Amino acid sequence: MHAHRETNGTHRGTDEPGGGSGAPADAGLAAFNALPADVAAARLLECLAVPRWAAEIATGRPYPSVAALRDAATAAGLAMTDDEVVEALSRHPRIGERPAGPGRELSQSQQWSRSEQGGVDAGDAVLAMALRAGNREYEEKFGYVFLIRAAGRSGAEILAALNERLTHEWPQERSVVRRELTEIAVLRLEKVLAGD
């Protein structure tokens, strides 16, 4: 559900959010490390609506590098409880649906969701219909919205992943969802560091 088209969510061994090295990441990390605790927690909740995760990352500051922050965010995300996974899922729109309507102010999280779903071509009626049908089937089977880190994935790739994940049972799928939520959170955290 989340596509930003900038990276595939893998760490490229550098400290800059975009994969390079230099001052922008250092400045973003320094600014993040210097935020008041409540402001840092609020920014983190925009990345992942799990208060324990946000508090853990906020209290872990200062981070010596973006890689250390990314690693801490990943570890804390993968440690989400089942209840935290469900709560986080409730904050995400369906794949192919845009959060809120025109003329309404969007939260930072909603703005990110809107831009992240850019890989889903709203003009492709066949794909849109298949995604709607797949979303319905997924929700009927699991009781939750289908969630995927869509960064770097086309609409067709998202649909293929949706169809494959429909073959899972909930224990397996819950692990996949936990990983996807974590990847989305880390990508969004990189946006926070970049000043987005």
Least confident stretch, 4-8, 90-94, 100-104:
4-8
Task: Kindly report the length of the chain.
Answer: 196
pLDDT score of 30 = 96
Per-residue burial over 125-143, b = 16 or more CB atoms within 10 Å of its CB, e = otherwise:
eebbebbeebbeebeebbe
Q: For the domain 1-196, what is the CATH code?
A: 1.10.3330.10
Cα-based torsion angle of the residue sequence 173, 3, 22, 41 in order, rounded to the nearest 10 degrees: -60
Domain boundaries, the chain: 1-196
Task: State in Å, rounded, how far the first CA of the chain is from the last one.
Answer: 19
User: Distance (Å, rounded) from C-alpha 75 to C-alpha 52?
Assistant: 12
Q: Do 100 and 64 form a contact (C-beta atoms < 8 A)? A: no
Residues 99-137 pLDDT 10s:
555 545 545 454 545 555 555 666 778 988 898 899 999
Q: Do 147 and 89 form a contact (C-beta atoms < 8 A)? A: yes
